[in-house]
């Protein structure tokens, strides 16, 4: 039995009205770890445990780390998560609640990641937050479920941080014969490493990241995410922090579900009708979730 669950596919009347097409929500915020990450992380953890891993290592204090902690608890494998000093107390409490050991090290994810990798022994499995084909295989099941539910989308909207969700969704679309269907990749303006890669013609490292959508904070997207732009239609689009947060608050009112600003970037493309002209038919939005967002944090930005 997989560690992820089959999530609801819901039609959104408010978003459908906003874009003049039928908007469908894949509700990954309903996953047990709070985000889509458990699809790929869970698949990878099961694979590594079958190979004899005695401990899972992670370097994320966000959704990936929480997915590793959840998977470890369910599989009976100890988990160590190294987080940077910037990780919120809420995230640390959530990791602790899942039974993970937490070490705070460094001022950025890069420093925490380097330290986590230095701790790896032959008995450990290291779970990268986004750059691992095992993760992409797990994330692809999201599209398998959508197609099994009878929806073949005419466009897909998702957010891009490191590119793991994009790589997985594209894989799911490939095996369902949806290679010609465009994917609209949302980022906030201060976290736009995917757009920078497209502009440069190769993955490039942003000199700095800024803004509220911290789950999108990969300074460089994975190679696979960029390679997809040469294989199928993937269109980067950007929104402001304000648009992302406003979309989260609107979505909470409309659908009684709290999501983080990274997810709000995708939703903002619909609420603000920022998709390119001509988008029609069935538009699938990956409501990727987010474990650490609170009403207070969103309202504080909004205030």
Residue 242 lies in a domain: yes
Residue 303 pLDDT exceeds 60: no
Which residues form the domain of 15? 9-36+134-302
Residue 142 pLDDT exceeds 70: yes
**Looking at 112, 130, 148, which one is the last position of a domain?**
130
Same domain, 84 and 24: no
pLDDT at 302: 57
Same domain, 169 and 266: yes
- What is the average pLDDT across 137-147? 98
Same domain, 45 and 186: no
pLDDT at 215: 86
- What is the average pLDDT across 59-69? 92
pLDDT at 218: 86
Same domain, 285 and 211: yes
pLDDT at 217: 81
Residue 61 pLDDT exceeds 80: no
Same domain, 26 and 157: yes
User: Over the stretch 217-266, which tens digit does the pLDDT of each residue have?
Assistant: 888 999 999 999 999 999 999 999 999 999 999 999 999 999 999 999 99
Same domain, 146 and 275: yes
Residue 1 lies in a domain: no
**Looking at 79, 98, 130, which one is the last position of a domain?**
130
The CATH number of whichever domain residue 212 belongs to comes to 3.40.50.1100
* DSSP output for the chain: --SS-PPPEEEEHHHHHHHTSEEEEEEGGGSTTSBTHHHHHHHHHHHHHHTT-SEEEE--SSHHHHHHHHHHHHHT--EEEEE-TTS-HHHHHHHHHTT-EEEE-SSSHHHHHHHHHHT--TTEEEE-SS--HHHHHHHTHHHHHHHHTT---SEEEEE-SSSHHHHHHHHHHHHTT-TTS-EEEEEEGGG-HHHHHHHHTS----S---SS-GGG--SS--HHHHHGGGTS-EEEEEE-HHHHHHHHHHHHHHHS----HHHHHHHHHHHTT-SPTT--SEEEEEE-B-SS--HHHHHHHH-
Same domain, 168 and 66: no
Residue 2 lies in a domain: no
**Looking at 130, 162, 194, which one is the last position of a domain?**
130
Same domain, 290 and 151: yes
Total domains, the chain? 2
Mean pLDDT, rounded, of the chain: 95
Please state, for a pLDDT cut of 70, what percent of the chain lies above it: 99
User: Over the stretch 272-289, which tens digit does the pLDDT of each residue have?
Assistant: 999 999 899 999 999 999
Same domain, 143 and 200: yes
């Amino acid at each position: 039995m997989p560690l992820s669950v089959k999530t609801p596919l819901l039609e959104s009347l408010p978003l459908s009205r906003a874009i003049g097409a039928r908007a469908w929500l894949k509700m990954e915020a309903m996953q047990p770890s709070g985000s889509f990450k458990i699809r790929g992380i869970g698949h990878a953890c099961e694979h590594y445990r079958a190979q004899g891993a005695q401990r899972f290592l992670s370097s994320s204090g966000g959704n990936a780390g929480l997915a590793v902690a959840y998977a470890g608890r369910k599989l009976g494998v100890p988990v160590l998560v190294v987080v940077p000093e910037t990780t919120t107390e809420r995230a640390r409490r959530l990791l602790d609640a899942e039974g993970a050991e937490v070490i705070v090290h460094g001022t950025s994810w890069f420093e925490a990641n380097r330290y986590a990798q230095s701790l790896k022994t032959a008995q450990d499995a290291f779970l990268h937050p986004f750059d691992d084909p095992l993760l992409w295989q797990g994330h692809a099941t999201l599209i398998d479920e959508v197609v099994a539910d009878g929806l073949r989308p005419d466009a897909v909207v998702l957010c891009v941080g490191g590119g793991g969700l994009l790589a997985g969704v594209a894989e799911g679309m490939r095996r369902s014969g949806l290679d010609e269907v465009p994917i609209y990749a949302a980022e906030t303006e201060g976290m736009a490493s995917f757009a920078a890669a497209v502009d440069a013609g190769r993955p490039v490292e942003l000199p700095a990241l800024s803004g509220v959508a911290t789950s999108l904070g990969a300074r460089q997207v994975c190679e696979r995410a960029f390679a997809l732009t040469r294989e199928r239609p993937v269109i980067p689009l950007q929104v402001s922090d304000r648009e992302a947060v406003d979309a989260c608050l609107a979505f909470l009112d409309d659908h009684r579900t709290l999501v983080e600003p990274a997810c709000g970037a995708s939703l903002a493309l619909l609420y603000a009708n920022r998709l390119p002209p001509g988008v029609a038919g069935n538009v699938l939005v990956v409501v990727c979730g987010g474990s650490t967002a609170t009403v207070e944090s969103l309202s504080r930005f909004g205030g």
